[in-house]
Structure 1
Amino acid sequence: MNFDEKIIDSLDELEKFLLSVENGGLGLTNVAGVALATNNADGRPFIAVLDDKHQLLLGRWVTKDIYENGKDLVRHGPKKNLH
């Protein structure tokens, strides 16, 4: 898996991450979506950036709080503009 070891621990960080994905700031190609998920081995939550075949392009760990409280942000997308 292609995981960034940084941990997202605030909704503001999650929003910035989502904006970076949307704006191409992470250098990823063929991005089709994002999802909150848990690791099958240990249950650790993460945000997954997926391609059009639902393959993981990039994962970043999130805290349990962000996993629970960031679902609407992931589902509906960020509202801020990235400058």
Structure 2
Amino acid sequence: MIDDNKVIDTLEALESFLRLVDNGGLGIKNAAGVALATNNSDGRPFVAVLDDNHQLLLGRWVTQEVFDNGKDLVRTGPNKLN
């Protein structure tokens, strides 16, 4: 499920989103990982919260700038960069 009304448009907002996922603040059960991806139908970038079977639990659209520059943040996690 991707929330069409919420777009992450800064790296700070991406970091906040990742912290919420890590801390269980979004109420997501069985979250196993986070990835940046693109929508197959239109190429629009988003951040995906995935379960153990790599199924999408939650997605938020991101701007192209966040997609291009947030890969390390997603890969290492918000707590490991600082």
The verdict on a shared fold, with TM-score over 0.5 as the criterion, is yes
Give me the CA root mean square deviation.
1.0
Which residue in the other structure is 1:9 paired with? 9
> Which secondary structure state, in structure 1, belongs to the residue aligned with residue 43 of structure 2?
coil
Partners of 1:4 and 1:41 lie apart in 2 by 16
Percent sequence identity over aligned pairs: 70
The runs of at least 4 aligned residues of structure 1 exceeding 4 Å deviation read none
Deviation string for 1:10-54 (max 9, x for gaps)? 000000000000000000000000000000000000000000000
The residue aligned with 1:66 is: 66
Q: Secondary structure at the match of 1:73?
A: helix
2:70 and 2:42 map into 1 onto residues whose CA distance is 20
Work out the CA distance in 2 between the residues paired with 1:77 and 1:43.
24
1:24 aligns with 2:24: yes
Q: Residue 3 of structure 1: CA displacement?
A: 1.0
Aligned equivalent of 2:51: 51
- What residue identity is the alignment partner of 1:54? H
